[in-house]
Structure 1
């Protein structure tokens, strides 16, 4: 795997969500993430078997979520699509950016697609993890 990126309409569902009444919202969100990832997955791409870095950017218009609560449902949803198991995620970058205050430059075509939709979305990227060495 070199790079796999896709977008999902937001807002995301938090890891903290415990909605059991009208169906599990977190499970439904994970299914949405899986479906969107599969739309962007190319048959030429190979599922990662080594360490990966997961980058998630939530482009919002009303900030209602802590970034740490965004990660786990997305990370779990990607199992079997971009990587074999979420234990392969060795590096993680999670950001929130306000759509109203954003200056866009150097966007990929997929990220530009998200902006063109004109509403909240998440941009998710899985790449090979950087070198595993630690320097002090």
Structure 2
């Protein structure tokens, strides 16, 4: 099942939103998007994981903290991609203006699909976590 990647169209919702119904709806949107890309008989993985979330947006800045953007996404994938979000030991989050200039080598068909839509989207990729015997610097 790994690596696993998918896109979610639209603008993410912050974990700190006061509207819990909107938050649940956003998490369901993320889960539904993941289901479209997951293998039919796939089971949640049990290993340590790295998640990468890139929000391709319109405009130079986004007024949302990275950690508040990624938490609802992680929660939405519990029981579908992994058993528990505590398995995520490494997180990479980026916000990138869609109108930028990009140099791309080996773009996945999933990421290409996001760009072809021409609207804001998130690209989410989950892989097995790197070796933790190496110190991050």
- With normalisation by structure 2, the TM-score equals 0.90
In structure 2, what is the Cα distance between the partners aligned to 1:104 and 1:45?
A: 33
Q: Deviations over 1:32-66 (max 9, x none)?
A: 00000000001354421010101000000033322
Aligned counterpart, 2:49: 52
Residues 1:32 and 2:34 are matched in the alignment: no
Aligned counterpart, 1:86: 85
CA 101–34 in structure 1, closer or farther in 2 if over 3 Å, else same: same
SS at match of 1:101: coil
In structure 2, what is the Cα distance between the partners aligned to 1:55 and 1:94?
A: 6
Aligned counterpart, 1:103: 102
Q: Deviations over 1:62-120 (max 9, x none)?
A: 33322221111000001011100001000000001100113141211000000000000
CA 77–133 in structure 1, closer or farther in 2 if over 3 Å, else same: same
Question: After TM superposition, what 4+ stretches of structure 1 lie above 4 angstroms from structure 2?
Answer: none
The 10-residue stretch of structure 1 (11-20 or 117-126) with the greater mean CA deviation from structure 2: 11-20
In structure 2, what is the Cα distance between the partners aligned to 1:102 and 1:26?
A: 32
Query: Structure 1, unaligned stretches of length 5 or more?
Result: none
- With normalisation by structure 1, the TM-score equals 0.91
Instruction: Count the aligned residue pairs.
Output: 133
Query: Structure 2, unaligned stretches of length 5 or more?
Result: none
